A and B are shown apart, each in its own frame.
Chain A
Amino acid sequence: MYSLRLLMSMMAIMGLLWTAPGCGKPEVNEVRLGVNAELTGSKPAVGASCKNAAELLAAQVNQAGGVKLGDKTYQVKLFIEDNEDKAESAAAAAQKLITQNRVLAVIGPNASGNAIPAARICEDAQTPMVSPWSTNPKTTEGKKYVFRACFIDDFQGQVMAKFARDHLKAETAAVLYDVASEYNKGIAEFFKKFFEEAGGKVVAFESYTKGDMDFSSQLTKIKGANPQVLFLPNYYNEVPLQVQQARRLGLACAIIGSDSWGSEELLKLGGPDLEGSYFSTHYAPDIATEKARKFIRDYQERYGKTPDDVAALTYDAGSLLLAALAQAGAPDRQKLRDALASIREFEGVTGKMSFKGTGDPVKSAVILQIKDGRFTYHASVSP
């Protein structure tokens, strides 16, 4: 009995110690931003790019003296949480950032499967959230506090469907997508809709589930349907397996993809099988503006590699938040949200975005081709 009481009182003391720094005065002159990123799980390259770009932005802002709001200057402080690329962990990470770290706003998650549940948490907690890379319409749909820095899949599906029809002159197409993932499922359906509206025919619409490694039976079916183009709107860690298995089964048609291909890891894992394929994405380092070139240089200097689309979009998401913060004039969630909603035009490293009163920017997409083991600029498509 005695020891039990001792234990309980010790736990109480420890609890006090634990909460003490948090309950006390938070640093008066700091702006807390949360980053909810896919650091582990099946697409760690996405989380790494997001973290890198956010840290680069925070370092640049702090080095330049911080954020000036009224007569005070604030340092940007980042709280980075790993969402393990799982929907439930993404929601938990958002919750932790909001309630425990009491961040002003959250950047991320990036994958739509994680961004949709996290967006619900942020909306309920009335905390602004900007997703850099989530293109599924559901992320911002019906929400007042959720924004994004990228185009949405209605547009992307249309871009790739048109590209397949007009540039590749395909009459028939096949799609293989992950049915358990919001992003893949959404864009696969948009592609099908727009490809058929443009007069083409989707001859095979096959699915699999996250974690599958063997796609041979779906690909055998697709091969039997003999399509002229195969659309793989899947993440960079799965696409190489799918392409390799397709080629091994003797499927020789053109293969196209979406912005989930954009990581350098794709080239490392995919090798020569991907040569000649096209995909749509958010920006191309080849045609960078002055602003983008500076970002690419700074990023390369700090991390020794070219930033991918997630990095560029995270930088834009953070810049968008800071621009809204300057306009809001005070580190207050409600004011920040109103300022974000009032922004109409924003020039980011991924190009010009215009907002039409929703959280979704209107911006152009680029199509890249994999040529000589590199992502090469092919075309830009404006909405």
Chain B
Amino acid sequence: MLPVVAQNVLNAIQLGSVYALIALGYTMVYGILTMINFAHGDIFMVGAYLSLAGALFLLGLPYQLPAPLVFLGALCFSMTLTALLGVLIERLAYRPLRAAPRVSAVITALGVGLFLENFTLAMLGPEPRQFPPLIPAVVLKVGGLAVTPLQLLIIFLAAGIMVALDLLVRRTLLGMAMRAISYNRPLVPLMGVPVDRVISLTFALGSAIAAAGGLMYGLAYPVLDPYMGIRIGWWAFIAAVVGGIGNIRGAMLGGFILGLVEIFTPVFLPSSTYRDFVAFSLLLVLLIFRPTGLLGRPLFERV
């Protein structure tokens, strides 16, 4: 029994790492703009496709590169381009609406998401794409547990990114500016903080992290299709809200909780069909008792 539970926990941490990475993007944008970027799930999808493009390009070179180099190359390529996409979306779609009612921005975000899905569908066609295996698919047996190098890579890389982001927000000047904007946006420009640039950088960071999540997800579940971002986007959004939207550590915590929900629902209930039911019920119950999420504190230290 114990190995089965441990196996499930390990799988949940792997899945939760990806949810946490995407939840970070929701939470950062909310923290700084009090706006929910519903296109974020689709930005993750584009990140996954860009990782695929990068990996295929590097694998197609006449000389054979070692697999870790292909992985890193694809990661950098995808993170850079997806960051640019995030900045572009903010510049073209959200910035003109910054003074408009918040609901306009949310609807625009939904529209941007639909645009990304259908643009990808039109460009690449509806056939699902296969992600090439960059990490050797060996199964290591650790005391009854089946562990793959890929699983370890995902867990440690995601943890690394989360620690780096946490440090960035808490210890650097940029992080201080981000926290300041979320604390009081009207006042901050008076202190000489370039608000627009900080917001752009926030979108760039969030999108780049989503792209890293896309690459990991593509490696773990190697069938990509243009609609893959929808469900994952919703789950990451719930993760962000459960953890306390606007709070970075909360998003990480929420991601892991949602990973556990997804993996353990079919263990205790007859079918995985109850996954969404369990996840959304958790959200509703939590919002009744803790409207600000697990780690969220009202109007204090967001981002």
Kindly provide the distance from the CB of B287 to the nearest chain A CB, expressed in whole angstroms: 24
Q: Is the CB of A217 within 8 A of B223?
A: no
| Interface status of B211 (Cβ within 8 A of chain A) | no
- Residue from B223, B263, B270, B271 in contact with A237 in the complex, judged by beta carbons closer than 8 Å: B223
Q: Is the CB of B11 within 8 A of A216?
A: yes
Q: Is the CB of B146 within 8 A of A250?
A: yes
Q: Which stretch, A134-142, A154-162, A204-212, A292-300, touches the partner chain B?
A: A204-212
What is the CA–CA distance of A41 and B228 in the complex, to the nearest angstrom?
A: 11
Which residues of the other chain, B, contact A214 by a CB distance below 8 angstroms?
11, 15, 221, 262-263
In this complex, the member of B15, B127, B137, B217 whose beta carbon has the largest number of chain A beta carbons within 10 angstroms is B127
What is the CA–CA distance of A123 and B212 in the complex, to the nearest angstrom?
A: 50
| Interface status of B290 (Cβ within 8 A of chain A) | no
Given contacts A39-B126, A214-B221, A217-B263, contact A208 B7 (CB under 8 A): no
What is the CA–CA distance of A212 and B228 in the complex, to the nearest angstrom?
A: 10
Q: Is the CB of B267 within 8 A of A221?
A: yes
Q: List 15 A-B contacts (CB under 8 A).
A: A39-B126, A40-B121, A40-B126, A180-B273, A206-B266, A207-B271, A208-B271, A211-B231, A212-B275, A216-B15, A217-B263, A217-B265, A220-B11, A241-B221, A265-B127
Closest A-chain residue to B132, C-beta based?
Answer: A271
| Interface status of A376 (Cβ within 8 A of chain B) | no
Known A-B contacts: A221-B4, A248-B146, A269-B223. Give 4 more (CB < 8 A).
A179-B273, A214-B11, A218-B266, A237-B223
Q: Is the CB of A244 within 8 A of B127?
A: no
Kindly provide the distance from the CB of A370 to the nearest chain B CB, expressed in whole angstroms: 16
Q: Is the CB of A217 within 8 A of B225?
A: no
What is the CA–CA distance of A217 and B10 in the complex, to the nearest angstrom?
A: 10
What is the CA–CA distance of A271 and B231 in the complex, to the nearest angstrom?
A: 26
| Interface status of B8 (Cβ within 8 A of chain A) | yes
What is the CA–CA distance of A340 and B273 in the complex, to the nearest angstrom?
A: 40
Among all A-B residue pairs, the 5 with the closest Cβ atoms: A44-B126, A216-B11, A213-B221, A250-B146, A208-B272
Kindly provide the distance from the CB of A114 to the nearest chain B CB, expressed in whole angstroms: 15
- Residue from B121, B127, B139, B271 in contact with A179 in the complex, judged by beta carbons closer than 8 Å: B271
Closest A-chain residue to B266, C-beta based?
Answer: A217
Q: Is the CB of B125 within 8 A of A241?
A: no
| Interface status of B281 (Cβ within 8 A of chain A) | no
Q: Is the CB of B225 within 8 A of A237?
A: yes
Kindly provide the distance from the CB of B17 to the nearest chain A CB, expressed in whole angstroms: 12
Q: Is the CB of A209 within 8 A of B139?
A: no
| Interface status of A105 (Cβ within 8 A of chain B) | no
| Interface status of A113 (Cβ within 8 A of chain B) | no
Chain A 26-52 near chain B by CB (<8 Å), digits 1 or 0: 000000000000011110110000000
Chain A 207-239 near chain B by CB (<8 Å), digits 1 or 0: 111011110111011001000000000000110
Q: Is the CB of B128 within 8 A of A265?
A: yes
Q: Is the CB of B263 within 8 A of A44?
A: no
Closest A-chain residue to B131, C-beta based?
Answer: A269
Q: Is the CB of B266 within 8 A of A249?
A: no
Kindly provide the distance from the CB of A219 to the nearest chain B CB, expressed in whole angstroms: 9
Q: Is the CB of B271 within 8 A of A248?
A: no
- Residue from A42, A212, A240 in contact with B225 in the complex, judged by beta carbons closer than 8 Å: A42
**For chain B residues 109-143, which have a beta carbon within 8 Å of chain A?**
121, 125-128, 130, 133, 137, 139, 141
| Interface status of B104 (Cβ within 8 A of chain A) | no
Q: Is the CB of A220 within 8 A of B223?
A: no
Kindly provide the distance from the CB of A179 to the nearest chain B CB, expressed in whole angstroms: 5
Q: Is the CB of B223 within 8 A of A224?
A: no
What is the CA–CA distance of A268 and B29 in the complex, to the nearest angstrom?
A: 38
Given contacts A209-B272, A248-B146, A249-B146, contact A220 B225 (CB under 8 A): no
Which residues of the other chain, A, contact B271 by a CB distance below 8 angstroms?
179, 207-209
What is the CA–CA distance of A224 and B263 in the complex, to the nearest angstrom?
A: 16
| Interface status of B148 (Cβ within 8 A of chain A) | yes
| Interface status of B222 (Cβ within 8 A of chain A) | yes
Q: Is the CB of B263 within 8 A of A207?
A: no
Which residues of the other chain, B, contact A217 by a CB distance below 8 angstroms?
8, 11, 263-267, 272
Chain B 215-240 near chain A by CB (<8 Å), digits 1 or 0: 00100011101011001000000000
**For chain A residues 169-215, which have a beta carbon within 8 Å of chain B?**
179-180, 206-209, 211-214
Q: Is the CB of B275 within 8 A of A209?
A: yes
What is the CA–CA distance of A192 and B181 in the complex, to the nearest angstrom?
A: 60
Chain B 2-13 near chain A by CB (<8 Å), digits 1 or 0: 001001100100
Q: Is the CB of A212 within 8 A of B11?
A: no
What is the CA–CA distance of A180 and B273 in the complex, to the nearest angstrom?
A: 8
What is the CA–CA distance of A124 and B238 in the complex, to the nearest angstrom?
A: 42
Closest A-chain residue to B7, C-beta based?
Answer: A220
What is the CA–CA distance of A213 and B219 in the complex, to the nearest angstrom?
A: 12
What is the CA–CA distance of A57 and B219 in the complex, to the nearest angstrom?
A: 41
Kindly provide the distance from the CB of B47 to the nearest chain A CB, expressed in whole angstroms: 16
Which residues of the other chain, A, contact B222 by a CB distance below 8 angstroms?
240-241, 244, 269
Q: Is the CB of A41 within 8 A of B266?
A: no
Kindly provide the distance from the CB of B216 to the nearest chain A CB, expressed in whole angstroms: 13
Which residues of the other chain, B, contact A179 by a CB distance below 8 angstroms?
271, 273
Chain A 296-328 near chain B by CB (<8 Å), digits 1 or 0: 000000000000000000000000000000000
Closest B-chain residue to A47, C-beta based?
Answer: B126
What is the CA–CA distance of A180 and B270 in the complex, to the nearest angstrom?
A: 13
What is the CA–CA distance of A198 and B263 in the complex, to the nearest angstrom?
A: 34
Q: Is the CB of A269 within 8 A of B128?
A: yes
What is the CA–CA distance of A271 and B222 in the complex, to the nearest angstrom?
A: 11
Which residues of the other chain, B, contact A44 by a CB distance below 8 angstroms?
125-127
Given contacts A220-B11, A250-B139, contact A269 B273 (CB under 8 A): no
Q: Is the CB of A248 within 8 A of B272?
A: no
Given contacts A180-B273, A206-B266, contact A268 B130 (CB under 8 A): yes
What is the CA–CA distance of A240 and B129 in the complex, to the nearest angstrom?
A: 12
**For chain A residues 86-127, which have a beta carbon within 8 Å of chain B?**
none
Closest A-chain residue to B146, C-beta based?
Answer: A250
What is the CA–CA distance of A221 and B265 in the complex, to the nearest angstrom?
A: 12
Chain B 42-57 near chain A by CB (<8 Å), digits 1 or 0: 0000000000000000
Which residues of the other chain, A, contact B262 by a CB distance below 8 angstroms?
214
Closest B-chain residue to A40, C-beta based?
Answer: B126
Kindly provide the distance from the CB of A233 to the nearest chain B CB, expressed in whole angstroms: 16
Q: Is the CB of A207 within 8 A of B221?
A: no
Kindly provide the distance from the CB of B124 to the nearest chain A CB, expressed in whole angstroms: 11
